[in-house]
Amino acid sequence: MTTALIAEDEALLAEHLRSELARQWPELQVLGIAPHGAAAAEMALAQRPDIVFLDIRMPGMSGLEAAEAIGEDWPEGVPAPLLVFVTAYDQYALQAFERSAIDYLLKPVQPERLAQTLARLRRALQQRQAAPAGLAETALEQLRALLAAPGLGMPSIVPARLSVIQAGHGTAIHLVPVVEVIYFEAADKYVRVITAEREYLIRTSLRELLPQLDPERFWQVHRGTVVRCDAIATALRDEAGKVTLTLRGRPDRLPVSRLYANRFKAM
């Protein structure tokens, strides 16, 4: 039986989508409705649905962030869920979905457009039965492309690059050169700034900080970790295919998620 999960914080819209799915695809089992992004990621990883319908704008973790969390923590060897984003974005932003080949629905969901999406999902599920491993990697590639798209995963206007981090500590403000930062790590409403000598806390989110960093020098390796690439000593791959980084100047070991493991290939 094919299963699905709906993530939508507006109860009326969620029930409308569930009833329309029941009418157009009676055999599809909706496992539940997640009221926000964090619940969507948790429910998807626990229940492993074949399809996830994700509202883009939800309180707390957005639909994109939930998709990133699902993609990172999805177990190896299990076909990744097919993602459909439900959005009110305009046509310019929707080009990002089209380029990444991830399907989307505009709010309010129209029955005719939903029918087209369901036909695509059925075809994709048939392909997955024939080649599950290949489709799982394709789903990750599509998600990588979407997260890098201007207007969605990345801003369309790139802000000025940071050269110095201003980190408050007590009554002092430390000016930390960005070139000395080994890695950044998300910590609730803060970001940990790790250098060879010490660490600092700054009150911002990693998602807000990331566009201000040079992507050629700072690599995202996990949804909560960005590392300076020339501070990486080795990338170690275990028997299960998981990648762990060792660093120059720090004893820390950083796990690399599946979404970003493709960065580390021998030349």
Mean pLDDT of the chain: 88
| Nearest-angstrom CA–CA distance, 262 and 95 | 24
Q: What is the DSSP letter of 263?
A: G
**pLDDT at residue 104, rounded to an integer:** 87
Using the predicted structure, report yes or no on whether residue 253 has a pLDDT greater than 90.
yes
Tokens for 129? Answer: 């039965």
Beta strands in the chain (DSSP E): 3-7, 29-34, 51-55, 82-87, 103-106, 164-169, 172-177, 181-187, 190-195, 199-202, 218-222, 225-228, 232-237, 243-247, 253-256
Confidence of residue 150 (pLDDT cuts 50, 70, 90): low
Q: Can you tell me the mean pLDDT for 44-61?
A: 92
Is 66 within 8 Å of 37 (Cβ atoms)? yes
Reported pTM? 0.79
Q: What tens digit of pLDDT does each residue of 74-122 get?
A: 887 788 888 998 988 766 567 667 766 678 898 889 999 999 999 999 9
**pLDDT at residue 189, rounded to an integer:** 83
Chain centroid to CA 255: how far? 16
**pLDDT at residue 128, rounded to an integer:** 78
Superfamily (CATH) of domain 3-147: Response regulator (3.40.50.2300)
* 206: nearest Cα among 188, 194, 182: 188
**pLDDT at residue 198, rounded to an integer:** 92
**pLDDT at residue 122, rounded to an integer:** 94
Whether residue 108 is preceded by a cis peptide bond, meaning omega within 30 degrees of 0, is yes
Question: Going by CATH, does the domain composed of 164-263 fall within 3.40.50.80?
Answer: no
Please state the domain extents for the chain. Answer: 3-147, 164-263
Using the predicted structure, report yes or no on whether residue 59 has a pLDDT greater than 90.
no
